[in-house]
Amino acid sequence: MGGTGKMSAQISSDSARKCLVMLWLIGSGALFLIFIIQSIGQKYGARVQDAWGWLLPTIMPTLSLMVGVLVSNAGMPQPKTGKSDRFIFFLALGFSFAYLTAVISTVLVQPFVKGNPLDLFRMSSLWLGPLQGLVAAVLGVFFIKAERSANN
């Protein structure tokens, strides 16, 4: 029973990693697509760099970390039996989903907000900054644990 319980508290590291990376790629892809169309539509006019200057630091550090880990692992043989803590995985997944939802919502809510959208972006760093820190911490723990599990 104890063995079964322990098994159910774990998840395949490979699947968990891919799931997280897919979530980030989809979320970031949607954001990039919106920003590209907005840039072409002159939404931000001469201040298009300011808009991208908000987006890139918002998603690129975490996305780069995850893609980097995935690519580095792709080059070496991985044991298929590597397991990750299910709780840490769902925590990372939940935080990632909440963070990406908050970022996308900030962009999508623009038409209903009075004033300059860049001011909204600047203000959003109040809640996105702490959330980004939490996401990075949880993802870091997840990937380190997954790596250790694969090496043992």
Residues that bind another protein (CB under 8 A): 34, 37-38, 41-47, 50-51, 108, 110-118
In 3D space, the residue among 94, 92, 98, 83 whose CA is nearest the CA of residue 152 turns out to be 83
- 16/107 with CB nearer another protein: 107
- 55/150 with CB nearer another protein: 55
Distance in Å, CB of 36 to another protein, minimum: 10
- 50/147 with CB nearer another protein: 50
Q: Which amino acid is at 80?
A: K
Distance in Å, CB of 24 to another protein, minimum: 22
Distance in Å, CB of 113 to another protein, minimum: 6
Q: What's the rounded Cα separation, in Å, for the pair 107 and 30? A: 11
51 and 38 in contact (C-beta within 8 Å)? yes
- 65/104 with CB nearer another protein: 104
Our measurement of the distance from residue 99's CA atom to the centroid of its chain's CA atoms, rounded to an integer in Å, reads 7
Provide DSSP, 47-59.
GHHHHHHHHHHHH
